[in-house]
Structure 1
């Protein structure tokens, strides 16, 4: 969606809702809860967003753009940083359960069947991220492949699942170091 321009009040509704979706899920947070939390009339909500499906899509687009800005700043604006350190930064950015990626990750599991356009926003971000990861991996190892980049993304998502399903603290940086060391040995 090019040039998404929304009034400040609509952005406040989006920001509040991103928080609600992040912590409570897409299906348990309805329009009634959103308008109550945001203290706006339901008619205003529908005037801005037209439907819950469209609203979720907009929330994910906003979150995706914020995340892309962070990824680009790590990948492109830290020229003095090694590819290895950039990959670590990308990994840590995406495995943070309170971070920006968690909502997109959650969307993949929660909304595929009910909000397919919004689901596509998350899928398109993953594809974009694989390309960004690949561009860093190729700097680290000349013959890195897209499969390596996909594996890196799967490590990120596996770390999120592990964080969600276990009270144990696993040294995720150690897992990442092992992957990166193994990549250099191939």
Structure 2
């Protein structure tokens, strides 16, 4: 998709809606609520975004690009921190239920049938993230496989599900340390 350029007011609507979708879901937040919370006329909304499907796709693109910037920022500090610390930062960035990945994670489950283009935005981010994780893991050990990177992503998603389904704090760091120790131990 070419660079997305939106007027300032449209970005404000997107930001408001990202918050609404994050906390209430894609199906329970309608256009009426979006325009009410954003304080814009419905005609202005349709002038900017044309449809709810296109709007959700734009919200996810914005969220994806913001998150990619954070991931790239973490990856660029390779000389300033060790790879294990970088992987931990990536893990905790993505398992934060109030963080940016949660909306993309939620989109995987809520948009596939109703908003397929929006769904594809979330899927493309997961693919990009898996490649980024693979690159980081290869820095630790040349023999890692792409399956190791997928496993790391599954750990992120499993932690999110656990956090959502339990009032008890999970021991995320222990699980992550165990995985990373396994990768490093097999390095020798």
TM-score tier by shorter-chain length is over 0.9
Who is 1:142 aligned against?
142
- Per-residue deviation, residues 136-172 of structure 1 (Å, max 9, x unmatched): 0001111011000000000000000000000011120
RMSD: 0.7
Shift of residue 182, structure 1, vs aligned partner: 1.2
Aligned residue-pair number: 186
User: Aligned equivalents of 1:83 and 1:135: distance in 2?
Assistant: 10
> What TM-score does the superposition give when structure 2 sets the normalisation length?
0.97
- 1:80-159 superposed matches below 5 A: 80-159=80-159
Who is 2:14 aligned against?
14
Unaligned stretches of 5+ in structure 2?
A: none
Shift of residue 78, structure 1, vs aligned partner: 4.4
User: Aligned equivalents of 1:47 and 1:98: distance in 2?
Assistant: 30
Task: Extract structure 1 runs of 4+ deviating beyond 2 A.
Answer: none
Shift of residue 184, structure 1, vs aligned partner: 2.0
Shift of residue 77, structure 1, vs aligned partner: 3.3
- Per-residue deviation, residues 75-123 of structure 1 (Å, max 9, x unmatched): 0134211111100000000000000000000000001000000000000
- Per-residue deviation, residues 52-82 of structure 1 (Å, max 9, x unmatched): 0000000000000000000000001342111
Shift of residue 2, structure 1, vs aligned partner: 1.9
> What TM-score does the superposition give when structure 1 sets the normalisation length?
0.98
Who is 1:39 aligned against?
39
